[in-house]
């Protein structure tokens, strides 16, 4: 999988230094399954994606849903295992982050995201 950096350009803060981009059906379906955690500088970008689940996951995550203008349109803090996110129709990608990362970076709905 390709690795990229995720930056919140509205807040001028790096959200993740090592984000893996999951774009194939197989990569998106596998997601974070089988992992014990996400490192503090890691993330997984699912594209395209308008909803996620945490069934069979071993740890909670934060999730950002981003639209075609690269704006955060939905943010979920601490989504625990065995849950479904809401369907976010305007989302073209979901960014899965370590739990607490959204609060740590003060990322909010309306912030502009950039992949580098």
Q: What's the whole-number mean pLDDT along residues 91-114? A: 98
Q: What are phi and psi of 65, to 5 degrees?
A: -105, 130
pLDDT band at 115 (very low <50, low <70, confident <90, very high): very high
State the pLDDT at residue 1. Answer: 64
14-57 confidence digits (pLDDT tens): 999 999 999 888 888 787 777 888 999 999 999 999 999 999 99
What Cα–Cα distance (Å) separates residue 64 from each residue in 80, 98? Answer: 15, 11
CA gap 79, 59 in Å, rounded:
9
Question: SS3 for 113?
Answer: strand
Query: Which residues lie below 8 Å from residue 32, measured CB to CB, with a gap of 6+?
Result: 38, 44, 57, 61, 96
Residues 6+ apart with CB under 8 A from 104: none
| CATH number of the domain encompassing residue 65 | 2.60.120.1140
107 contacts 11 by C-beta, under 8 angstroms: yes
Full residue range of the structural domain in which residue 36 is found: 2-115
Does the pLDDT of residue 100 top 70, yes or no? yes
Instruction: Say what the pLDDT of residue 33 is.
Output: 76
Q: What is the pLDDT of residue 27?
A: 82
- Give tens-digit pLDDT for 52-98: 999 999 999 999 999 999 999 999 999 999 999 999 999 999 999 99
Please count the structural domains in the chain. Answer: 1
Reported pTM: 0.94
């Amino acid at each position: 999988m390709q690795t990229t950096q995720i930056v919140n350009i509205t807040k001028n803060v790096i959200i993740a230094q090592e984000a893996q981009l999951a774009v194939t059906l197989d990569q998106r379906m596998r997601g974070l399954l089988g992992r014990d955690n996400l490192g503090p500088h890691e993330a997984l970008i699912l594209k395209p994606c308008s909803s996620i689940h945490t069934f069979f996951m071993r740890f909670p995550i934060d999730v950002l849903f981003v639209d075609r203008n690269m704006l955060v349109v939905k943010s979920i803090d601490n989504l625990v295992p065995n849950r479904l996110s809401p369907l976010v129709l305007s989302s073209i990608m979901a960014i899965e982050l370590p739990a607490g990362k959204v609060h740590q970076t003060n990322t909010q709905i309306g912030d502009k995201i950039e992949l580098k």
